[in-house]
């Protein structure tokens, strides 16, 4: 029909183009862990801040995403979902955020993360940045020892925790259920001053791991135990809400969580995803992260006073590729140590 009426065809084409150009863009889709309200709040804050920033003089038109669709998952479910979707379709979410570098390495190993070589990581600990720029640290949390104010002893290092240990006084997460606990086991078992002997001592003393770090913290807050091995951000948050607990960063070093973020392989929203990454890594984005109650990974952005400064911490930084390759062996060793007797 339209070939007989070229003017009508042109009008229809212009109308369709106008409709498409004025249609709202699809939201930038993000899979994020941990599955906590604070994770969604942080992304909402970043998005609002990003939209309010004026474009730089002479810059290209803004490529900021109009909206975000944040899907919250636990770390294990996120890795399984992303790798499954990527195998089937060659694409998953536009952006991916996980708590730990082992999970990020698993996504990268599956080919599900896109490299972003131009990301500016100069203000970040290079040990926490993937060599191929497939994922980047957003914030830091150390795993250490939380204790109730009523506890008789106040351990400041791992070995002190094992002295005269009553198995009913310690809660810590199980790596079978918690990605954070996997980092704990992988880090301590490779650290010469602690090693598997620390975990063997816990097992010999009769300490049984609980499901995850949230349960461990809850038992501590409720006074069911005197001590818990948890990430510092959970302890600091609980303190701010009135919990009668303290947190100690172990003197000999604590495993670190860097909450890596990366771009999903196969995304059609590369410009928007890169703009979001750039903002998250910028001083402005890191200051917003601090305002939301987290410890920034950026060296020049200070955390809230409740956190120890990153420069004062001794971090046990994993070789995540090695930890990923040896994950099954670690799990088998752990299960043999904590097997029922």
Structure confidence at residue 8 as a pLDDT band (50, 70, 90):
very low
| DSSP three-state, residue 121 | coil
Total Cβ atoms within 10 A of residue 332: 10
Range of the domain at 31: 27-138+258-307
138: tokens are: 């957003």
Total Cβ atoms within 10 A of residue 228: 29
pTM given for the model: 0.87
Question: What's 169's domain CATH number?
Answer: 3.40.190.10
On whether both 207 and 333 belong to a single domain, the answer is yes
4: tokens are: 């007989």
On whether both 247 and 146 belong to a single domain, the answer is yes
211 to 17, 176, 190, 208, 217: CA distances (angstroms): 54, 8, 23, 10, 11
Distance CA 150, CA 229 (A): 17
Residue 275 lies inside a defined structural domain of this protein: yes
Ramachandran area for residue 135 (φ above 0: left; ψ -120 to 50: alpha; else beta)? beta
On whether both 220 and 331 belong to a single domain, the answer is yes
Distance CA 292, CA 307 (A): 13
pLDDT computed for residue 63 by the predictor: 66
The whole-chain average pLDDT of the chain stands at: 87
Total Cβ atoms within 10 A of residue 137: 25
Q: Is the pLDDT of residue 316 over 90?
A: yes
On whether both 132 and 83 belong to a single domain, the answer is yes
Q: What is the DSSP letter of 60?
A: P
240: tokens are: 């701010």
On whether both 219 and 265 belong to a single domain, the answer is no
pLDDT computed for residue 79 by the predictor: 95
What residues have CB less than 8 Å from 122, skipping those under 6 apart?
Answer: none
Q: Is the pLDDT of residue 341 over 70?
A: no
Residue 3 lies inside a defined structural domain of this protein: no
Residue 54 lies inside a defined structural domain of this protein: yes
Among candidate residues 139, 125, 134, 140, the one with its CA nearest the CA of residue 255: 140
| Contact by Cβ (8 Å): 289, 296 | yes
| Contact by Cβ (8 Å): 134, 101 | no
* 10-42 pLDDT, tens digit each: 454 444 444 334 445 678 999 999 878 888 889
* 61-117 pLDDT, tens digit each: 456 777 889 999 999 999 999 999 999 999 999 999 999 999 999 999 999 999 999
Burial of 23 per CB tally in 10 Å (0-12, 13-18, 19+): exposed
Helix (H) or strand (E) holding 36, with range, is none
Mean pLDDT is lowest, of 1-15, 141-155, 263-277, 315-329, for: 1-15
Residue 32 lies inside a defined structural domain of this protein: yes
Dihedral angle, C-alpha 159, 186, 255, 165, nearest 10 °: -30
Residue 8 lies inside a defined structural domain of this protein: no
Residue 19 lies inside a defined structural domain of this protein: no
Q: Is the pLDDT of residue 158 over 70?
A: yes
On whether both 262 and 133 belong to a single domain, the answer is yes
272 to 41, 129, 280, 293, 316: CA distances (angstroms): 20, 21, 12, 26, 34
Alpha helices per DSSP H over the chain = 6-22, 37-52, 75-89, 101-109, 158-161, 179-189, 195-204, 213-221, 232-240, 270-281, 283-291, 320-325, 327-337
pLDDT computed for residue 51 by the predictor: 80
Structure confidence at residue 59 as a pLDDT band (50, 70, 90):
very low
Domain tally, the chain: 2
Mean pLDDT is lowest, of 157-161, 165-169, 172-176, 220-224, for: 165-169
pLDDT computed for residue 50 by the predictor: 80
| DSSP three-state, residue 130 | coil
* 297-314 pLDDT, tens digit each: 999 999 999 998 777 889
Q: Is the pLDDT of residue 152 over 70?
A: yes
On whether both 123 and 270 belong to a single domain, the answer is yes
On whether both 149 and 124 belong to a single domain, the answer is no
pLDDT computed for residue 177 by the predictor: 86
- What are the beta bridge partners of residue 264? 113
Residue 291 lies inside a defined structural domain of this protein: yes
On whether both 329 and 288 belong to a single domain, the answer is no
Residue that wins the pLDDT comparison between 4 and 249: 249
Among candidate residues 137, 51, 45, 47, the one with its CA nearest the CA of residue 97: 137
Distance CA 26, CA 162 (A): 53
On whether both 38 and 123 belong to a single domain, the answer is yes
Maximum pairwise Cα distance, the chain:
93
On whether both 70 and 121 belong to a single domain, the answer is yes
Cis before 164? omega within 30: no
Structure confidence at residue 340 as a pLDDT band (50, 70, 90):
low
Hey, which of 53-57, 165-169, 244-248 has the most confident mean pLDDT? 244-248
Among candidate residues 235, 144, 126, the one with its CA nearest the CA of residue 187: 144
Residue 22 lies inside a defined structural domain of this protein: no
Residue carrying the six token digits 């104010």: 149
Structure confidence at residue 54 as a pLDDT band (50, 70, 90):
low
On whether both 98 and 60 belong to a single domain, the answer is yes
């Amino acid at each position: 029909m339209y070939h007989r009426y070229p003017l009508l065809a042109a009008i229809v084409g212009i109308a369709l183009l106008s409709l498409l150009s004025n249609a709202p863009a699809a939201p930038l889709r993000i899979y994020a862990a941990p599955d906590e309200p604070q994770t969604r709040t942080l992304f909402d804050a970043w998005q609002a801040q990003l939209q309010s920033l004026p474009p730089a003089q002479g810059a290209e038109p803004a490529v900021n995403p109009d909206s975000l669709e944040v899907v919250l998952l636990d770390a294990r479910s996120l890795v399984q979902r992303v790798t499954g979707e990527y195998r089937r379709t060659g694409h998953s979410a536009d952006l991916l955020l996980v708590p730990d570098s082992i999970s990020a390495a698993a996504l990268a190993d599956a080919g599900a993360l896109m490299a972003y070589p131009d990301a500016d990581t100069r203000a970040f600990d290079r040990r926490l940045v993937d060599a191929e720029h497939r994922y980047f640290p957003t914030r830091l949390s150390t795993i250490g020892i939380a204790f109730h104010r009523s506890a008789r002893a106040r351990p400041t290092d791992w070995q002190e925790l094992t002295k005269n240990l009553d198995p009913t006084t310690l809660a810590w997460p199980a790596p079978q259920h918690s990605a954070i606990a996997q980092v704990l086991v992988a880090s301590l078992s490779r650290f010469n001053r602690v090693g598997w002997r620390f975990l063997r001592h816990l097992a010999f003393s009769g300490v049984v791991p609980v499901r995850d770090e949230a349960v461990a913290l809850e038992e501590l807050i409720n006074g069911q135990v005197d001590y818990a091995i948890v990430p510092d951000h959970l302890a600091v948050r609980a303190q701010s809400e009135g919990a009668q607990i303290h947190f100690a960063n172990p003197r000999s070093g604590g495993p670190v969580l860097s909450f890596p973020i990366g771009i999903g392989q196969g995304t059609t929203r590369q410009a928007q995803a890169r703009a979001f990454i750039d903002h998250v890594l910028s001083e402005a984005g890191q200051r917003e992260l601090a305002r939301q109650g987290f410890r920034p990974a950026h060296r020049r952005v200070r955390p809230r006073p409740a956190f120890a400064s990153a420069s004062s911490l001794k971090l046990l930084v994993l070789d995540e590729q090695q930890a990923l390759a040896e994950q099954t062996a670690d799990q088998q060793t752990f299960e043999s140590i904590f097997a029922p007797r």
